[in-house]
Amino acid sequence: MLDRVRRGSDFEAACEQAFAELPDADRRLAHELAAGILRQSGALDQRLGPLVSGGWATVAPPLKDVLRLGAYQLTVLDRIPPHAAVSTSVTLAKELRGARASGFVNAVLRRLPLDERMPSPSMAPAEFATAYAHPPWLVERWVGRFGPEATRRLLEWNNHKPRLVLQPARRDLAEIRTQLDARNIECTAAPFEAGLSVEAGRPRELPGYDTGDFHIQDPAQALVLQFIDPRPDDLVFDACAAPGGKAIALGRVTRSVIAAEIQRDRLRRLLENVQRAGSGRERPILADAARPPVRPVDLAVLDAPCLATGTMARHPDARTRVSTRALERLTEIQRKLLTRVAGAVRPGGLLVYATCSLEPEENEQQVDRFLSEHTEFVRESSGSVPAVLLSPAGDLTILPHVHGMDGSYAARLRRDAA
């Protein structure tokens, strides 16, 4: 399963396929182990490598993952006894490669030191990248932009297990909290009061899921909706709507939301979420955001496809797909979509451009270029979010290592009334 993800398969889809037959508790553990190995593979490899007499490069790839599995359980998880972690890995190695491999895995894991040394900010970017299992080119640009210490905090954030955050759908947060309290499910306010945070698990097991009381969305995305600050009479075009969190949130407070998605599988997910937790004012359609199938609207929201470097904690497979070529390709797609979606905004209407990226080329530079080419639009800020989340230009700018949630960016672009 991990090998399929590294070759480009979606992590959640791969988990669903691989773990479908497991009992709920085992499925949750398997998901955590798979995500943990992807997040922590660099640090795990650094600790395992010196224990292999021939060097880490000589270990067969399947056995590397077996060793990472055991090492992750031994050094990160505290609920699995060490003997059980070693035994499971030894058994798996025997099934994959025979008795000799199982003896090798047993010997390595039993020599693994359980104390952990924090990587130093004085490390070179390449060492950072290895220690935290991130692409070297990306770490190097982050060090240049944020500095070594802030980059270390960002990498640590990306390697931690995020909590599940509930957002209001058919009930408000106070009612959702009451339901959770009644079941003795611990919850806390998410950063900036943007949702309710619970221990990550299966949302379907929470009270109120089946009745659509809540939907799942990171606080950063909820704050994008606050930043948009829609009006009750707005006709909204949600240009890239899947999986549906924006459409559901907008549907709670506006007249109507046309929620477009170009990919059929993602449209199915959008439909499922809207049917479960929507207000009835959302209208999912199969459509290309580059050819908006709508008359001029009051509000258009473009949550553009991006490198997703702000969501690497929540999506551990994202780091396997980023590249400079992907960044160049995505910035061109964003430029095209931004221009096309802008054409769907009525005079005096609002266009909101958003990403879950940390990269300037996809964020403020993209907006600056758009404004230089489309003088009928002007940038405006919003007083509906805390000022600490706003850039000097007035754009929403959320950084994981600073604000304690996914990274996110949004800009409000107002069209001239004339």
Kindly list the catalytic residues. Answer: 356
Q: What is the DSSP letter of 311?
A: -
Q: How far apart are the first and last CA of the chain?
A: 55
Peptide bond into 347 cis (omega under 30): no
Do the Cβ atoms of 86 and 117 come closer than 8 Å? no
Q: Which residues make Cβ contacts (< 8 Å) with residue 372, sequence separation at least 6?
A: none
Residues forming beta bridges with residue 236, ordered by sequence position: 257, 299
Distance CA 184, CA 93 (A): 40
CA distances, 26 to each of 38, 65, 110 (Å): 18, 18, 24
Residues forming beta bridges with residue 216, ordered by sequence position: 166
Q: Which stretches does DSSP call E strand in 251-356?
A: 256-261, 282-286, 297-303, 345-355
Q: Which stretches does DSSP call E strand in 85-199?
A: 164-168, 188-189, 196-198
Distance CA 66, CA 282 (A): 46
Task: Copy the structure tokens of residue 270.
Answer: 């959008």
The 3-state DSSP class for residue 268 equals helix
Q: Which residues make Cβ contacts (< 8 Å) with residue 397, sequence separation at least 6?
A: 363, 389, 390, 391, 409
Distance CA 128, CA 140 (A): 9
